[in-house]
Structure 1
């Protein structure tokens, strides 16, 4: 269940899928190699998860309100005039071509999250830090994000910042490789893993916030 923390711009998204995850090593934007390297991922949120979208929209609206007096010079901008960090994965242009070419985006909202600072990334056991081999495109994860406003010249919008990530080792890969959970099925006690997975999850994220 998606949750909003005591901070109204902070949201814990449960069981979203990772696309283009760069969580342990920062990357520059492909179309701008001179840009500041960031840790990032696109989060695939099923449209059936209406609660998640509602909580995200509420956090975005709060971030806008908080920025009125400062970044927005005392005037509240219309949400439609701002660059927002999420998009409809089924949206098409006037020629009927999908704006997002990735098939995994169909039936989902795509939330782009990034941070200059390295987020805390853990495995199903929240006490164990994740390594590169633990993270793959299509994997499910619980992700703690925070929304904030920005204004740079004529460009203004709301950004989604990565705070912490818990990868689950579950989910269908979208890079053509075999899911480790399928490859090693039966070689470990799932019950003990699930116990590690559940214990202290919210506490670990609350401590990181």
Structure 2
């Protein structure tokens, strides 16, 4: 049989770290949208509000809160019983494959996953939307077209990452787990575990003027 072998304990640990880090990404994207809201809607108060204390608090809150919330489905997951071949048709130990191969009742776990998507996925998504609604209102009121383009350009990279990440996550975790197609589940998992992290440094770095200068210098050398 093709594939790798992993113990149940290691698989559960991998699943916990994957969900917790994914939820942290949701929160960090929300914090970034708030940062852009302050920069565009309250530019004169930005340095006062977004000081070092708030920055540290937001980062620590994102990591600690998500890792604590993820302990809830983990406590249910460790109580499940597994029998048979225990073959997971996936690239890694996601929650959905566990539900598929578990012999015991998984309804509580499925409900718990669905409920937790509200504070971990849906609420951050709503906050991002609200932030950008206010941002759009402020941008459209700007008298200069150049100022509007500059403001929209500042938000474009973040919106691109948010669209890819949240789109895949909402489809993957906001529907009943057993209703998923295995192929679709694997494809969506690749989007927010491989594609989004791969494009993150590219999308954000290309806006840096120093990066632009380095890339242009390399292009000139190869010509």
> TM-score by structure 1 length?
0.25
* Higher share in helix: 2
Quick check: which has more Rg, 1 or 2?
Answer: 2
> TM-score by structure 2 length?
0.24
